[in-house]
């Protein structure tokens, strides 16, 4: 075993038996490189990555390749899910050098950490268009020793290019926001696949943030233009092989444009976001099937990714010992064994049909069958049960059990919203359990960490961890009515402002200053990736905190980022879906809903459920609890403090820009008030007195 034997990362431990003399990321490896004047070979991947496994089998497990690697380099292996900061910096270098990125990522560094060459997967020997790994290693090591000045010049040039420049804020008025949002939407609609949904061709990713932006646009404008492509996408994904038709949950992406054949890993972050996207589709169009799909996906999280102590594991692998996707694909012989020879043709028709989807190995990928009539759908469901039982006897894909705070935050938000929509408290219990694990196990002292590995909390939290968990806490505050979750969100946001803010302009860095001396620059992610960027999540958090507190500093954080990012958002809308949603709410105007209720569990739910039956992205909810023998709230955000309960019933105050309409206690009246708040605020039904905060 090498040095990775003592690591807790599932990905690093996959490499502990390699003949490569791997180091984990840290001071020891870089000191060794400096002492011996050897370059560093940095390999970055993650446990569910198929091509990471391929390169490991071909090169890292091969004694001859490993001997070359050990002789020429100090070798560092990094789990990108453990160290997204390391991954971000060197992925930027890879993209700067090659114009593209991906994993496994292979980067060659000077002993001081500066990159001078980068690539992704390298085969062991030369192939058309791909140099062999051994030749690459020998060529770069020779360049380092024999042409040092060229290597140093390349590293210096690349490092300067990677240093993030301060964001420059520009004024952005309502008119310019309206125009920008319209142009961004038009660009996305031109790229949309009107037949199968999604954007562009193969490979095809869910792009949840972009789809949610289109739903947001329709909801705020009360139309159904952009949302049609969302419905097409969600239906095609539900019927495609990207959704596991036997065990539920969605795979990472589709290798084709029809969502038919997936790349088979299942990630927590995809499924958490898809729960929420299907739920929002139900709210927008009353699609009961989409509410059911949200529930089914949530059940997959709980059944297959829930950790013993609460919270959720990071992923399920794409591979087993039998190969990529072997757990999920079917041959005709396997179908015959599971169902009997006389039903193979029926199964092929019900799960595949014309143009059946098959993997590169020839296995059938099961797809949906909504187009069938009721009798065939019932028969198909019976076959699903039989095939699921047969599949359960196969070796299961491995699970990466690390609890990543930012990804769990996405699950907490989704499950909390689903609990409210369905009335099923088990979803809220799972969300609360995950939040408590984060607070109790994923912290060091009073600081939130990036992950809990089952034994200890590790690594400083990134911006997406802090902002994402703060947003999840605001959702928990809304759904539970407990003030402590609002206070937790406010504390996390204040920490971001103190430690992550850019001192030279708007926005925030991914890490606090002085985070890791081995990193050559301080990372800052602007665009969304598989999850919304920390920048977009923090901007949304500021917008919601402004609605709850009325403090102008939070609003300034929003306007600064939107002004700085406006040009990029307009030119590349697919990279900024989450930030575009924030701008859409900012442009239309927020609506604040204050709910005043007794200090009893879920006493505010009848009113809250009515408010959330429809998709209202402009709505931010604060809940105030009544003090003992008092008729006004003495806990909660500023929006609700000292507001009164009317006639002994939970009471709703609908406000727009902090000017509040008359309080109501009936769900029907609340619906009318919310509808009125969508229109231009006329001030004809406004409560007067000191409780009205009019900042305009």
Residues 527, 429 share a domain: yes
For the stretch 68-72, contacts whose Cβ atoms lie closer than 8 Å and that sit 24 or more positions apart, written own/partner, are: 68/134, 68/137, 68/138, 69/20, 69/41, 69/137, 70/19, 70/20, 70/21, 72/38, 72/39, 72/41, 72/137, 72/138, 72/141
**DSSP labels, 239-291:** HSTTB-TTT--B-SEESSTTS-SEE--EEHHHHHHHHHHHHHHHHHH--HHHH
CB 603 within 8 A of CB 596: no
pLDDT at residue 686 in the model: 36
- The model's confidence at residue 632, banded by pLDDT at 50, 70 and 90, is confident
Average pLDDT over residues 272-298: 97
pLDDT at residue 694 in the model: 28
Residues 185, 106 share a domain: no
316 bridge partner residues: 266, 399
Q: How many residues does the chain have?
A: 696
Q: Residue 686: inside a domain, yes or no?
A: no
Residues 370-386 pLDDT 10s: 666 777 878 889 999 99
CB 517 within 8 A of CB 487: no
pLDDT at 693 over 80: no
pLDDT at residue 514 in the model: 84
Q: Residue 191: inside a domain, yes or no?
A: yes
Q: Residue 685: inside a domain, yes or no?
A: no
Report the distance separating Cα 217 and Cα 588, nearest Å.
10
Share of the chain above pLDDT 70, in %: 96
Residues 53, 131 share a domain: yes
Token pair 């797809």 in the structure block, residue? 367
Query: Cα–Cα–Cα angle for 196, 198, 202, nearest 5°?
Result: 85
Q: Which helix (H) or strand (E) holds 128?
A: none
Residues 393-432 pLDDT 10s: 999 999 999 999 999 999 999 999 999 999 999 999 999 9
Q: Residue 684: inside a domain, yes or no?
A: no
Q: Residue 599: inside a domain, yes or no?
A: yes
- Domain boundary residue, one of 393, 413, 433: 393
Query: Which residue, among 667, 662, 696, has the nearest Cα to 546 in the 3D structure?
Result: 696
| CA dihedral (524, 527, 532, 535) positive or negative | positive
Query: Among 57-61, 129-133, 644-648, 680-684, whose mean pLDDT is lowest?
Result: 680-684
CATH number of the domain within which 302 lies: 1.50.10.10
Residues 483-498 pLDDT 10s: 999 999 999 999 999 9
Q: Which helix (H) or strand (E) holds 72?
A: helix 63-72
Spell out where 264-382 has E strands.
Answer: 266-267, 315-316, 319-320, 323-324
- The model's confidence at residue 647, banded by pLDDT at 50, 70 and 90, is confident
> Could you tell me the residue range of the domain that residue 515 belongs to?
174-318+400-588
Find the Cα–Cα–Cα–Cα dihedral 266, 269, 270, 276, rounded to 10°.
140
pLDDT at residue 372 in the model: 66
Residues 630, 564 share a domain: no
Helix, strand or coil, per DSSP, at residue 414:
helix
pLDDT at residue 695 in the model: 25
- Domain boundary residue, one of 348, 365, 393: 393
Average pLDDT over residues 344-371: 83
Mean pLDDT of the chain: 92
Residue 665, phi then psi, degrees to nearest 5: -125, -10
pLDDT at 185 over 50: yes
Find the Cα–Cα–Cα–Cα dihedral 260, 266, 271, 277, rounded to 10°.
-30
- Domain boundary residue, one of 128, 162, 196: 162
Query: Among 78-82, 104-108, 121-125, 220-224, whose mean pLDDT is lowest?
Result: 220-224
- The model's confidence at residue 90, banded by pLDDT at 50, 70 and 90, is very high
Report the distance separating Cα 206 and Cα 690, nearest Å.
47
Residues 388, 301 share a domain: no
Indicate the number of domains in the chain: 4
Q: Which residues contact 371 (CB under 8 A, 6 or more apart)?
A: none
Instruction: Fill in the DSSP letter of residue 653.
Output: E
Q: Residue 695: inside a domain, yes or no?
A: no
Helix, strand or coil, per DSSP, at residue 17:
coil
Find the Cα–Cα–Cα–Cα dihedral 91, 92, 98, 99, rounded to 10°.
110
pLDDT at residue 353 in the model: 67
Q: Which residues contact 96 (CB under 8 A, 6 or more apart)?
A: 158, 161, 162
Report the distance separating Cα 607 and Cα 597, nearest Å.
10
pLDDT at residue 322 in the model: 87
Residues 141-181 pLDDT 10s: 999 999 999 999 999 999 888 888 889 878 888 789 999 99
Residues 75, 196 share a domain: no
Residues 568, 448 share a domain: yes
Q: Residue 337: inside a domain, yes or no?
A: yes
Query: Cα–Cα–Cα angle for 619, 620, 623, nearest 5°?
Result: 130
pLDDT at residue 371 in the model: 64
pTM of the prediction? 0.94
Token pair 């003030």 in the structure block, residue? 483
Distances (CA, A) of 545 to 59, 542, 595, 622, 681: 50, 5, 16, 10, 21
Average pLDDT over residues 33-52: 95
Residues 358, 340 share a domain: yes
pLDDT at 85 over 70: yes
Q: Which pair of structure tokens corresponds to residue 613?
A: 């039956």
Average pLDDT over residues 128-149: 95
Report the distance separating Cα 294 and Cα 162, nearest Å.
40
Average pLDDT over residues 109-128: 95
Residues 437, 371 share a domain: no
Report the distance separating Cα 506 and Cα 559, nearest Å.
9
| CA dihedral (679, 683, 685, 690) positive or negative | positive
Residues 584, 628 share a domain: no
pLDDT at residue 501 in the model: 97
pLDDT at residue 682 in the model: 35
Residues 546, 605 share a domain: no
Q: Residue 639: inside a domain, yes or no?
A: yes
Residues 449, 362 share a domain: no
pLDDT at residue 369 in the model: 67
Residues 199-219 pLDDT 10s: 999 999 999 999 999 999 999
- Is the bond preceding residue 34 a cis peptide, omega within 30 degrees? no
Report the distance separating Cα 441 and Cα 201, nearest Å.
42
């Amino acid at each position: 075993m090498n040095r990775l034997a003592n690591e807790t990362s599932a990905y690093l431990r996959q490499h502990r038996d390699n003949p490569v003399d791997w180091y984990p990321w840290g001071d020891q490896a870089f000191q060794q490189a400096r002492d011996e004047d050897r370059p560093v070979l940095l390999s970055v991947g993650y446990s569910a990555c198929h091509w990471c496994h391929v390169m490991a089998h071909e090169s890292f497990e091969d004694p001859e390749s490993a001997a070359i690697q050990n002789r020429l380099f100090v070798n560092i292996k990094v789990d990108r899910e453990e160290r997204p900061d390391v991954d971000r910096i060197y992925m930027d270098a890879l993209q700067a050098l090659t114009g593209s990125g991906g994993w496994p990522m292979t980067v060659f560094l000077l002993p001081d950490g500066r990159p001078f060459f980068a690539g992704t997967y390298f085969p062991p020997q030369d192939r058309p268009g791909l140099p062999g790994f051994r030749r690459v290693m020998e060529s770069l090591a020779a360049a380092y020793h024999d042409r040092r000045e060229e290597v140093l010049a390349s590293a210096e040039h690349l490092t300067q290019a990677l240093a993030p420049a301060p964001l420059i804020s520009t004024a952005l008025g309502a008119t310019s926001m309206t125009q920008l949002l319209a142009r961004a939407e038009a660009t996305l609609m031109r790229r949309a696949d009107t037949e199968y949904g999604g954007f562009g061709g193969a490979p095809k990713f869910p792009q949840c943030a972009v789809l949610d932006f289109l739903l947001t646009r329709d909801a705020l404008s009360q139309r159904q233009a952009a949302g049609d492509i969302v419905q097409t996408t969600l239906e095609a994904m539900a019927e495609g092989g990207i959704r596991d038709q036997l065990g539920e949950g969605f795979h990472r992406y589709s290798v084709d444009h029809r969502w038919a054949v997936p790349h088979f890993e299942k990630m927590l972050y995809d499924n958490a976001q898809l729960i929420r996207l299907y739920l929002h589709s139900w709210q927008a169009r009353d699609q009961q099937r989409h509410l059911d799909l949200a529930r089914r996906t949530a059940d997959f999280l709980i059944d297959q990714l829930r950790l013993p102590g609460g919270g959720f594991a990071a992923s399920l692998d794409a591979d087993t010992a039998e190969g990529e996707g072997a757990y999920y694909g079917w041959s005709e012989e396997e179908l015959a064994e599971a169902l009997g020879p006389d039903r193979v043709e029926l199964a092929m028709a019900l799960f595949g049909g014309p143009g059946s989807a098959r993997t590169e190995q020839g296995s059938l990928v099961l797809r949906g069958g909504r187009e069938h009539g009721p009798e065939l759908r019932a028969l198909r469901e019976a076959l699903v049960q039989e095939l699921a039982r047969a599949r359960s006897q196969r070796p299961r894909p491995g699970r990466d059990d690390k609890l990543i705070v930012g990804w769990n935050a996405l699950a907490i938000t989704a499950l909390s919203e689903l609990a409210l929509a369905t009335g099923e408290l088990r979803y809220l219990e799972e969300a609360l359990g995950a939040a408590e694990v984060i607070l109790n196990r994923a912290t060091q002292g009073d600081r939130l960490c990036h992950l809990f590995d089952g034994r200890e909390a590790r690594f400083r939290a990134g911006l997406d961890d802090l902002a994402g968990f703060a947003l999840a806490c605001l959702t928990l505050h809304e759904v539970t009515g407990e003030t402590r979750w609002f206070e937790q969100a406010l504390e996390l946001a204040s920490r971001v402002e103190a430690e992550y803010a850019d001192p030279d302009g708007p926005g925030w860095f991914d890490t606090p200053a002085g985070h890791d001396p081995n990193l050559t620059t301080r990372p800052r992610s602007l665009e969304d990736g598989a999850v919304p960027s920390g920048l977009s999540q923090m901007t949304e958090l500021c917008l919601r905190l402004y609605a709850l507190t009325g403090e102008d500093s939070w609003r300034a954080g929003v306007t600064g980022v939107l002004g700085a990012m406006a040009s990029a958002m307009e030119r590349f809308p697919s990279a900024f879906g989450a930030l575009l949603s924030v701008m859409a709410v900012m442009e239309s105007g927020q609506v604040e809903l204050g709910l005043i209720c007794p200090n009893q569990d879920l006493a505010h739910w009848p009113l809250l459920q009515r408010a959330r039956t429809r998709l209202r992205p402009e709505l931010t909810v604060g809940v105030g609890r009544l003090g003992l023998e008092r008729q006004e709230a003495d806990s909660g955000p500023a929006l609700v403090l000292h507001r009164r309960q009317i006639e002994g019933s939970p009471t709703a105050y609908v406000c727009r820009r902090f000017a509040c309409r008359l309080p109501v206690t009936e769900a029907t009246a609340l619906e009318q008030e919310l509808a009125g708040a969508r229109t231009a605020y006329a001030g004809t039904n406004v409560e007067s007195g000191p409780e009205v905060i009019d900042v305009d």
